Amino acid sequence: MYILQARDIHKKFDSLKVLKGVSLQVEKGEVIAIIGPSGSGKSTFLRCLNHLETIDRGEIKIEGEFMVRNSPDGYALYSTDKEIDQIRHKMGMVFQNFNLFPHKSVLKNLTMAPILVKQADKVEAENKAWQLLEKVGLSDKANNYPFELSGGQQQRVAIARALSMEPDIMCFDEPTSALDPELTGEVLQVMKDLALEHMTMIVVTHEIGFAREVANRVIFMDEGLIVEEGTAEQVIVNPHHERTRAFLSKVLMAR
């Protein structure tokens, strides 16, 4: 059984068609890297999966439950807000710009959602937060504020914060794009560790190296469609499509 199924997702912003029928099925424990040029719709697709954007047509099913499906006349019909909230709790999200809460300490960034949303006990939530900070190597920063951390450290906190809600699927939207090159490594390492623990991960990324090393499956998107998908070997090393090749040569040449 798939942990996430997206079928024939269509999405437009005003008249601009951003997604023109994208489908994806994810098995538990899979690590999926979505690559592609900017404007290809890869981030939008990810944002549709966890309801930061709404779709116009298509179906999204998470752990067997529909978040959205097609009505008989072919338009996206969302489940009730309550059902959607239930479903979304299973997904964690890491943003390009971290989006930490600047007015809260690192520890509070991690305990806020469990306490407010899951009515977790404060002490319990804090213990869990300490464990997560340990895991991302930042337990010494628990009482610091986000502005006191480097970009790489902030992103590691953001990953820990997403994990604090114990999601089954982790979504990453270009998690290293806002970082200085020398800081990407520490973030990618945390993500690799997660992959080793068999976390299900969907990663929109420009890090071809990461995709190649960690992803079970690589998806190349362009102009709102999946052009090519397969193992890293198939898509990155021996791409079939001209557009994939053109993209990869551009990206790889830039290094």
Partner 1 sequence: MDYILMLLPSMLKGLSVTLKLFFLTLMVALPVGILMGMARISKFKPLKWFMEFYVWLFRGTPLLLQLLFMYFGLMTIGIRLEREIAAYLAFVLNYSAYLAEIFRAGIQSIDRGQYEAADVLGLNRFQTMKNIVLPQVFKLVLPPMGNEVINLVKDTALIYVLAISELSRVARTHVMRDDTFVPFIIAAIFYLFMTGTVQQFFKWLESRFDYYR
Chain residues binding partner 1 by CB under 8 A are 50, 52, 85, 88-89, 91-93, 95, 97, 99-103, 112-113, 116-117, 145-147, 161-162, 165
Distance CA 2, CA 103 (A): 39
Q: What is the separation of C-alpha 175 from the centre of its chain, rounded to a whole number of angstroms? A: 8
Task: Say how far residue 220 (Cα) sits from the centre of its chain.
Answer: 15
Minimum distance from CB of 2 to partner 1 (Å)?
A: 21
Tokens for 203?
A: 């990663």
The least CB distance from residue 216 to partner 1, in Å, is: 24
Q: Nearest 5°: phi and psi at 166?
A: 50, 60
Q: How far is the CB of 79 from partner 1 (least distance, A)?
A: 16
Largest CA distance in the chain: 55
Provide the minimum distance between the beta carbon of 167 and partner 1 in the complex, in angstroms, as a whole number: 9
Task: Give the Cα separation of 8 and 158 in Å (integer).
Answer: 31
171 or 226, CB closer to partner 1?
Answer: 171
| Residue nearer to partner 1 on the CB measure, 132 or 236 | 132
- Residue 79 burial by Cβ neighbours in a 10 Å radius (0-12, 13-18, 19+): middle
Least spacing, CB of residue 56 vs partner 1, in Å: 20
CB closer to partner 1 out of 2 and 145: 145
Among residues 11 and 217, whose Cβ is nearest to partner 1?
11
CB of 9 or CB of 165, closer to partner 1: 165
Distance CA 46, CA 224 (A): 12
Helix 106-117 / helix 122-135 crossing angle, nearest 10 deg? 130
- Nearer CB in complex with partner 1: 88/128: 88
Smallest separation (angstroms) from partner 1 to the CB of 225: 25
